[in-house]
Amino acid sequence: MSHLISVQESLERILTAFSPVETEAVPLREAYGRVLSRPVTAPFDFPPFTNSSMDGFAVIAADTLPASTDKPVWLRTVADIPAGSHFDGSIRPGEAARIMTGAPLPEGADAVVPVESTHIGARFDGSAMPEKVGILQPVSPGDNVRPRGQDVRAGAPVLSAGTALRPQDIGMLASLGFTSVEVHRLPRITVFSTGDELVQPGEDLTPGKIYDSNSYVLRGLTRQSGCQVIDLGLAKDDPDQVRALFEEAVRQQADLILSSAGVSVGAHDYVRQVIESEGELSLWRVNMRPGKPLTFGRYQNVPFLGLAGNPVSAFVGYQVFVLPVLQKLRGLPALQRRSVKAVTGEPIRTDGRESYLRARVTVEGGIYRAVLSGHQGSGNLFSLIQANALLIVPSGVKSLPIGAELVAWLLDE
């Protein structure tokens, strides 16, 4: 039995071989999900001008001091300022301007009286501006006013490098007038499957054949992670076909060649042979279950990651090894897993390898509880689709009672 390498060590070794992909400028409209390669600072104050946060009347607060419902303070209206316009003049004592939310506060005014606190009542109904307005409640300087630069000041940091842009981030960039941003380009990931037993859904399932499912899973996960997927299809256990896929991946300028199966001591596994003819390859036995065999190497200059072939092994291998690589390629900081501490709802046994068990995690009264979602065989996709988490049993632990606390990686968004 050769040496088992730990999950941690294999992941560290893999990650050192990758760095973030180059950057490019993209129009703001296409920036969703892309990762900023440079920090963004505000080019101007936001809001860019002092404005009203209410529909009402811009006033000099001191004028309103004696106002009450019984004894309104009457002010002469000298301007009407809808949103999008502005008033060049100045408000003097005894005067007011009708103003709408978002309109610039006129010179001289220092507060806004909401329309509800005037003789007009509830709200404006499209009526013409009155000649004077009765103020029913005093306001203090600054009331219902959003000062220029309240949100961000010119030159202030707004978004840091390594941010995956969310809709609200893009909204902020738009409000600061950006038309494009500097981001990492999309990493290009080629995906293929190998095996004489594999056929595509739609083809006949003749004796001994199964449908290729790993490509579907790996393509979906890769897309979900924000990378570009290039589907290279299937290769038979045939050195020429396998070589043709690697050549195609190089032509496609892949940042990573991702595959499953076909790298073992199996008599018909040609992936190893092909890679070794044009690059280098390490075959690891990782101290984990499922997903023990893992291949990492390079075909010409393109990194290659070969996951174990069984469908759940490939899925778990993706979560453990591929996702952190893709995040790094995209320019994101080290992956923070979405995980919780969960209490087991049943006794658990493993063979002592670090185990990634398919489980359903529910939360009751603030406590996460995990139960296994079905048979844990590494070929059983059905128990994987019943699961919403991978429950992690550390290496060296072979049995756990009900109520033991484990880390669970949450799988669903």
Q: Where do contacts with ligand AMP occur on this chain (CB under 6 A)?
A: 193, 195, 197-198, 210, 212-215, 260-262, 264, 266, 309-311
104 binds, among ligand AMP, Mg ion, none (CB under 5 to 8 A by kind): none
Residue 309 C-beta: closest distance to Mg ion, Å: 6
Give residue 156's region: left, alpha or beta (phi > 0; psi -120 to 50). beta
**Cβ-closest residue to ligand AMP?**
309
Q: Shortest approach of ligand AMP to residue 318 CB, angstroms?
A: 13
SS3 sequence, the chain? CCCCECHHHHHHHHHCCCCCCCEEEEEHHHCCCCEECCCEECCCCECCCCEECCCEEEECHHHHCCCCCCCCEEEEEEEEECCCCCCCCECCCCEEEEECCCCECCECCCEEEEHHHECCCCCCCCCCCCCEEEECCCCCCCCCEECCCCCECCCCEEECCCCECCHHHHHHHHHCCCCEEEEECCCEEEEEEECCCEECECECCCCCCEECCHHHHHHHHHHHCCCEEEEEEEECCCHHHHHHHHHHHHHCCCCEEEEECCCCCCCCCCHHHHHHHHEEEEEEEECEECCCEEEEEEECCEEEEEECCCHHHHHHHHHHHHHHHHHHHHCCCCCCCCEEEEEECCCEECCCCEEEEEEEEEEECCEEEEEECCCCCCCCHHHHHHCCEEEEECCCCCEECCCCEEEEEECCC
Q: How far is the CB of 393 from Mg ion (least distance, A)?
A: 28
* Pick 58 or 261: Cβ nearer Mg ion: 261
Q: Which does 214 bind (CB under 5 to 8 A by kind): ligand AMP, Mg ion, none?
A: ligand AMP
CB of 264 to ligand AMP, least distance (A): 5
Q: Report strand pairing: 210-211 vs 56-59.
A: unpaired
Task: Choose among Mg ion, ligand AMP, none what residue 311 binds, the Cβ cut-off being 5 to 8 Å by kind.
Answer: ligand AMP
Q: What is the smallest separation between the CB atom of 195 and ligand AMP, expressed in angstroms?
A: 5
Q: Which is nearer to Mg ion, 264 or 386 (CB)?
A: 264
Q: Which residue is nearest to Mg ion (CB)?
A: 195
Q: Closer to Mg ion at the Cβ: 235 or 332? A: 235
Structure tokens at 382: 């059905």
Q: Pick between residue 311 and residue 324 the one whose CB is nearest to ligand AMP.
A: 311
Shortest distance (Å) from residue 225 CB to ligand AMP: 19
264 touches, from ligand AMP, Mg ion, none (C-beta below 5 to 8 Å by class)? ligand AMP
**In the complex with Mg ion, which residue's Cβ is closer, 40 or 261?**
261
Q: Which is nearer to ligand AMP, 55 or 212 (CB)?
A: 212
Closest approach, Cβ 195 to Mg ion, in A, equals: 4
Between 283 and 400, CB nearer to ligand AMP: 283
To ligand AMP, the closest distance from the beta carbon of 203 in angstroms equals: 13
310 binds, among ligand AMP, Mg ion, none (CB under 5 to 8 A by kind): ligand AMP
Q: Which residues of the shown chain bind Mg ion in the complex (CB under 5 A)?
A: 195, 261-262
Question: Helix axis angle, 7-15 relative to 323-330, nearest 10°?
Answer: 30
Task: Say which entry of ligand AMP, Mg ion, none residue 114 contacts (CB below 5 to 8 A, set by partner kind).
Answer: none
CB of 222 or CB of 310, closer to Mg ion: 310
212 binds, among ligand AMP, Mg ion, none (CB under 5 to 8 A by kind): ligand AMP
